[in-house]
Amino acid sequence: MNMKTKINDDLIFPETKNLSGSEALIESLIHKGVDTIFGYPGGQAIPIYDTLYDYKDRLKHILVRHEQGATHAAQGYARVSGKVGVTLVTSGPGIANTITGIADAMMDSTPIVVIAGQVPASLLGTDAFQEIDVIGVTQPITKWTYQVRHADEIAWAVARAFYIASTGRPGPVVLDITKNAQIGKTGYQPVEINYIRSYIPVPDINPEKIAEAARLINTSQKPLALVGQGVILGNAEKELLEFLRKADIPAASTILGISALTSDEPLNVGMLGMHGNIGPNKMTNECDVLIAVGMRFDDRVTGDLNTYAKQAKVIHFDIDSAEIDKNVKTTVAVLGDVKETLPAVTRLLKNNTHTEWRNEFKPCEKLEFDKVIKNELFPSEGPVKMGEVVHLVSEATNNEAVLVTDVGQNQMMGVRYFKFKHSRSSVTSGGLGTMGFGLPAAIGAKFGAPDKTICLFVGDGGLQMTIQEFGTIMQSNVDIKIILLNNHFLGMVRQWQEMFFEERHSETIMKNPDFVAIAAAYGIAGRHVEKREDLKDAIAEMLNHKGAYFLEVTVERKGMVYPMIPAGTCVTNILLGDEK
């Protein structure tokens, strides 16, 4: 349909096609490379859905069961594919139901475009049926939000939306399209936008800062790199590895940056944060140069800022100037795209070794294995452990699968004990910590990486927040592997209640249904396991099954996630579970 009109022998322009606004919208999405949309129809989006009927062979629409699920699915799709996820919903409650997912995408820098139908422009401001102020509601939690009132604006708005969502520090964009704009006629031509005067997605590189950062690293005796999701978003995994290896720098990751380095990389010393590994948390307060790469010094990483890395010079690589000095005072700020700034610094680095410094992590690793990991992964008796299940599933996939988690203890056990061979292999809700994220995100991840095995770990609380998406799995035949770690508690809140609130289990005990039967009602094969001796066989059955599979494992009712740094305390205040 990309017809062209020949004007003369030298000039060829795209033919202007007279389309409806809805047709212009779909053509614009296809022009941007969109192949999958997650959505739910409604009154003010019917013209768009009617148009979709004629594009079934060019654009796949996945019918979710709740609009929140559509946004989380778009997030999962974006996180594994590196493309922009797209959601299509109706006005009023439709767009309102996406708010959680939009906020989650903003916190985690996930590029999604949410398209909402809206009442006709003539009814705006009249409290018409299913009208809400989309701009007012979503503006604080998006990179850009715009109301389209005329069909002629649609191609431009879509091009601008995708440019803003995907460039610089990625994030969500909302387009609110009035019904008259959907049905009105427009002379459509594809639009490309690669510049907006008021928007500077990538700051210019400062050569002086590059040189200063290299000088600090070259003179450092105890450098430590903190790797965030910015490395993954910038497709700079190769550049990061060259940087680390040239200067022999140990590196730890945030929860969102965890697959930027392979799990078996010798310089990878583990995960930062409240439930991270002992070594990187402890050594944060012993290093002499702290190198933050595409991370934002979240409070779950830093703990008490008054005691965080006060001995260290801090180098901060980031694309977003707003993050510089926001939480941690920076010695050298290296602004720019890490795919460019990392090599610029690497070229100035000396080939170095820090064997003695790297060996200081080994006692921490041994302590953590002896005190925590050994009992969690290799228990000799007692109830099944959460970490044990994660470890066995990861091993059974040869560490090749994509990990998706919900939020809570299942999340912390997942990111701690799943292993990664590839980048973009971990999908979880970081900044917002959204329970209910996991199931729809796993669905989206499968469409974003159809050749990958998708393993979702979820708790009994989070599963029931979006359990209706079993219907999406049934209708769209989505092959994901769902592992429910069922402890009949809201486990993470229960852990805090036991540690800090005198074991007063206020509203955290869960009375649950027969989950396997519910899954079966949606045509999803499943199995319930309680005994350790049945676990490996059940995992093999799950992974060998063609199609979605639901594995419910009854785990230790009062299992705890350790190590743990209590919120707001020093990063060296690490609890291992034996403190009394």
Catalytic residue set? 67, 129-130, 179, 492
Distances in Å between the Cα of 415 and the Cα atoms of 407, 428, 473 are 11, 9, 24
CB 181 within 8 A of CB 152: no
DSSP string, 99-110: HHHHHHHHHTT-
Distance between first and last Cα of the chain: 71
Give the angle subtended at the CA of 426 by the CAs of 421 and 428, to the nearest 5°. 165
Q: Which residue from 473, 558, 467, 477 is spatially nearest to 515, judged by alpha carbons?
A: 467
Residue 540 — left, alpha, or beta (φ > 0 → left; ψ -120 to 50 → alpha)? alpha
Q: Directed axis angle between helix 338-346 and helix 237-247, to 10°?
A: 20
Two tokens, residue 354:
């820090």
Q: What is the DSSP pairing of strand 12-14 with strand 4-6?
A: antiparallel
Give strand ranges (E) for 203-350.
223-227, 251-253, 268-271, 289-293, 313-318, 332-335
Two tokens, residue 343:
């090599």
State the Cα–Cα distance between residues 404 and 482, nearest whole angstrom.
9
State the Cα–Cα distance between residues 259 and 426, nearest whole angstrom.
6
Biggest alpha carbon–alpha carbon distance for the chain: 85
Residue 433 — left, alpha, or beta (φ > 0 → left; ψ -120 to 50 → alpha)? left
Q: Directed axis angle between helix 438-448 and helix 67-81, to 10°?
A: 50
Q: Which residue from 464, 382, 444, 372 is spatially nearest to 412, judged by alpha carbons?
A: 372
Q: Which residue from 103, 230, 140, 124 is spatially nearest to 180, judged by alpha carbons?
A: 124
Give the burial class of 190: count Cβ atoms within 10 A of its Cβ; 0-12 exposed, 13-18 middle, 19 or more buried.
Answer: middle
The secondary structure of residue 369, as a DSSP letter, is I
Q: Is 33 helix (H, G, I), strand (E, B) or coil?
A: coil
Taking the mean position of all CA atoms in its chain, how far away is CA 118?
28
List, in sequence order, the alpha helices (H) in 271-385: 278-284, 299-302, 338-346, 355-359, 362-368, 374-377
